[in-house]
Amino acid sequence: MSPGGAPREPLERVGSIKVKLGVLVGASVVVAALFATIGDRAGMPLWVTLPVTVAVALAVVQWLARGMTAPLREMTRAASSMAAGDYAQRVSTASTDEVGQLSRAFNAMAADLADSDQQRRQLIATVSHELRTPLTAQRALLENLVDGVVQPDDAALRGALTQSERLSDLVGDLLDLSRIDAGVAPLRLGEVRVGDLLRAAVSEAELGSRDVRFVCRVLPEEFSVTADPARLAQLVANLLDNAARHSPAGGEIALVATVLDDRTWSLEFVDEGPGIPAEKAADVFRRFGTGDDSGGGTGLGLAIASWVAELHGGSIAVVPTPPGGRGARLRAVLPRHTTAHATVTAATPAVAITHSSGSTNALVAQEETMTKAVPPSATTPPSRPSTQPAKGSARPTPEPWTDQLFGRFWPESSLGPQPRLLLGALGIGLLGALTLPERRIGIAAGLVAMLAAALILSASTERRSLWRVLAVGLGVALTAMTAIRAAEWVAVLGTMLAALLLAAAVTGARSVLSIPLSAMSWVLAGLRGLPLLGRTLTATSRMSLLWPVLRTAAIALVGLVLFGGLFASGDALFGSWASSLVPDLRWDSIIARIFVFVFVAGVALAGSYLALNPPRIADLDVPRGAPVRHRWEWLVPLGVVTALFAMFLVAQATAMWGGHEYLRETTGLTYAEYVHQGFGQLTVATFFTFVVIGLATRKAPQETASDRLWLRASLITLCVLTLAVVASALYRMSLYQEAYGYTVVRVFVDGFELWLGLLLVLMIVAVVRLNGSWLPRAALVTGALFFLGFAVMNPDGWVAARNIERFHETGKLDTHYLAGLSPDATPAIVDGLSEQQAACVLGGRAMTRVAEGDDVFSWSVGRTQARNAVEGLTVAPDPAFCSTFGTGYVPVAAPQGD
Which of 181-185, 451-455, 761-765 is least confident? 181-185
pLDDT bracket for residue 863 (50, 70, 90): confident
For residue 892, being part of any structural domain is answered with no
Residue-by-residue DSSP string for 361-378 = HHHHHHHHHHHHHS-GGG
For residue 761, being part of any structural domain is answered with yes
pLDDT greater than 70 at residue 887: no
| Residues of the domain holding 276 | 160-373
628, 701 in Cβ contact below 8 A?
yes
The pLDDT tens digits for 225-266 are 988 888 888 788 888 888 888 888 888 888 899 998 888 999
Residue-by-residue DSSP string for 141-186 = HHHHHHHTSS---HHHHHHHHHHHHHHHHHHHHHHHHHHHHHTB--
Which of these, 272, 256, 268, 290, lies nearest to 328 by C-alpha position? 272
Alpha helices in 207-228 (DSSP H): none
Q: What is the reported pLDDT for 451?
A: 93
552: Cα within 13 Å, side-chain hemisphere? 5
pLDDT bracket for residue 288 (50, 70, 90): low
Run of H or E residues at 430: helix 419-435
pLDDT greater than 60 at residue 379: no
The domain boundary residue, chosen from 373, 407, 424: 373
522, 783 in Cβ contact below 8 A?
no
- Residue 745 and residue 816 in one domain: no
SS3 content of the chain, % helix, strand, coil (to 5): 65, 5, 30
666-684 average pLDDT score: 64
Q: Between vectors from CA 757 to CA 753 and to CA 763, what angle results, nearest 5°?
A: 140
* 288 DSSP 8-state letter: T
DSSP bridge pairs for 193: 224
pLDDT bracket for residue 365 (50, 70, 90): very low
Q: What is the reported pLDDT for 181?
A: 53
- Residue 781 and residue 803 in one domain: no
Q: Between vectors from CA 542 to CA 538 and to CA 548, what angle results, nearest 5°?
A: 125
CB atoms inside a 10 Å sphere around CB 815: 23
- Residue 193 and residue 220 in one domain: yes
Of residues 166 and 518, more confidently modeled:
518
* Contact residues for 814 (Cβ-Cβ < 8 A; gap 6+): 741, 803, 886, 887, 888
Read off the CATH number of the domain in which 188 is found. Answer: 3.30.565.10
For residue 19, being part of any structural domain is answered with no
**Peptide bond before 220: cis, by omega within 30 degrees of 0?**
yes
pLDDT bracket for residue 10 (50, 70, 90): low
Of residues 10 and 738, more confidently modeled:
738
pLDDT greater than 90 at residue 604: yes
- Residue 476 and residue 586 in one domain: yes
pLDDT greater than 70 at residue 889: no
For residue 525, being part of any structural domain is answered with yes
Q: Characterize the bridge pairing of strands 251-259 and 212-219.
A: parallel
- Residue 509 and residue 524 in one domain: yes
Q: What is the reported pLDDT for 173?
A: 61
Distance of CA 496 to CAs 459, 491, 502, 722, 787, Å?
20, 9, 10, 29, 11
- Residue 187 and residue 326 in one domain: yes
pLDDT greater than 80 at residue 69: no
785: Cα within 13 Å, side-chain hemisphere? 12
Distance of CA 628 to CAs 165, 695, 705, 712, 715, Å?
83, 11, 16, 17, 17
pLDDT bracket for residue 354 (50, 70, 90): very low
pLDDT bracket for residue 621 (50, 70, 90): confident
pLDDT greater than 90 at residue 781: yes
Which of 112-121, 483-492, 792-801 is least confident? 112-121
501, 471 in Cβ contact below 8 A?
yes
600, 428 in Cβ contact below 8 A?
yes
What share of the chain in percent tops pLDDT 70? 72
pLDDT bracket for residue 476 (50, 70, 90): very high
Domain count, the chain: 4
For residue 654, being part of any structural domain is answered with yes
190-217 average pLDDT score: 82
- Residue 687 and residue 777 in one domain: yes
pLDDT bracket for residue 479 (50, 70, 90): very high
Phi–psi pair at 251, nearest 5 degrees: -75, 165
Mapped onto helix, strand or coil, the DSSP state of residue 317 is strand
- Residue 354 and residue 233 in one domain: yes
Kindly calculate the radius of gyration of the chain based on its CA atoms and give it in whole angstroms. 47
129, 123 in Cβ contact below 8 A?
no
Of residues 572 and 166, more confidently modeled:
572
CB atoms inside a 10 Å sphere around CB 841: 28
647: Cα within 13 Å, side-chain hemisphere? 6
For residue 495, being part of any structural domain is answered with yes
C-alpha to C-alpha distance for 413 and 435, rounded to whole angstroms: 37
Q: What is the reported pLDDT for 784?
A: 93
**Global pTM value:** 0.60
332, 314 in Cβ contact below 8 A?
yes
Q: What is the reported pLDDT for 378?
A: 34
- Residue 596 and residue 645 in one domain: no
The amino acid present at 130, given as its one-letter code, is E
Q: What is the reported pLDDT for 328?
A: 85
Alpha helices in 42-153 (DSSP H): 46-64, 70-83, 98-147
- Residue 357 and residue 500 in one domain: no
Among 56-60, 618-622, 772-776, the range with the most confident prediction by mean pLDDT is 772-776
The domain boundary residue, chosen from 546, 578, 612: 612
C-alpha to C-alpha distance for 300 and 304, rounded to whole angstroms: 6
Q: What is the reported pLDDT for 178?
A: 60
The pLDDT tens digits for 523-552 are 888 888 888 888 888 777 666 666 677 678
The pLDDT tens digits for 297-341 are 555 677 778 878 888 888 888 888 777 677 888 899 999 888 765
C-alpha to C-alpha distance for 229 and 241, rounded to whole angstroms: 18
C-alpha to C-alpha distance for 502 and 846, rounded to whole angstroms: 40
Q: What is the reported pLDDT for 779?
A: 92
Q: Calculate the average pLDDT of the chain.
A: 75
819-836 average pLDDT score: 85
Q: What is the reported pLDDT for 83?
A: 78
pLDDT greater than 80 at residue 487: yes
pLDDT greater than 50 at residue 617: yes
pLDDT greater than 60 at residue 146: yes
The amino acid present at 515, given as its one-letter code, is I
DSSP bridge pairs for 218: 257
Among 183-197, 602-616, 697-711, 865-879, the range with the most confident prediction by mean pLDDT is 602-616
Of residues 379 and 116, more confidently modeled:
116
Q: What is the reported pLDDT for 780?
A: 92
Distance of CA 444 to CAs 432, 439, 449, 503, 857, Å?
8, 9, 9, 22, 5
Distance of CA 501 to CAs 48, 427, 455, 482, 515, Å?
21, 24, 15, 17, 9
pLDDT greater than 70 at residue 806: yes
80-109 average pLDDT score: 78
CB atoms inside a 10 Å sphere around CB 281: 16
- Residue 670 and residue 818 in one domain: no
751, 790 in Cβ contact below 8 A?
yes
845, 863 in Cβ contact below 8 A?
no
Q: Characterize the bridge pairing of strands 329-335 and 315-318.
A: antiparallel
For residue 32, being part of any structural domain is answered with no
Which of 118-122, 176-180, 349-353, 729-733 is least confident? 349-353
Q: Find the farthest-apart pair of alpha carbons in the chain and give their distance in angstroms, rounded.
A: 148
What share of the chain in percent tops pLDDT 90? 9
The domain boundary residue, chosen from 349, 373, 397: 373
C-alpha to C-alpha distance for 738 and 184, rounded to whole angstroms: 102
356, 202 in Cβ contact below 8 A?
no
Alpha helices in 346-413 (DSSP H): 360-373, 401-406
pLDDT greater than 90 at residue 112: no
* Contact residues for 480 (Cβ-Cβ < 8 A; gap 6+): 446
CB atoms inside a 10 Å sphere around CB 416: 9
For residue 9, being part of any structural domain is answered with no
pLDDT greater than 80 at residue 2: no
The pLDDT tens digits for 148-169 are 777 777 766 776 776 677 677 6
- Residue 831 and residue 749 in one domain: no
886, 840 in Cβ contact below 8 A?
yes
579, 568 in Cβ contact below 8 A?
yes
Of residues 390 and 747, more confidently modeled:
747
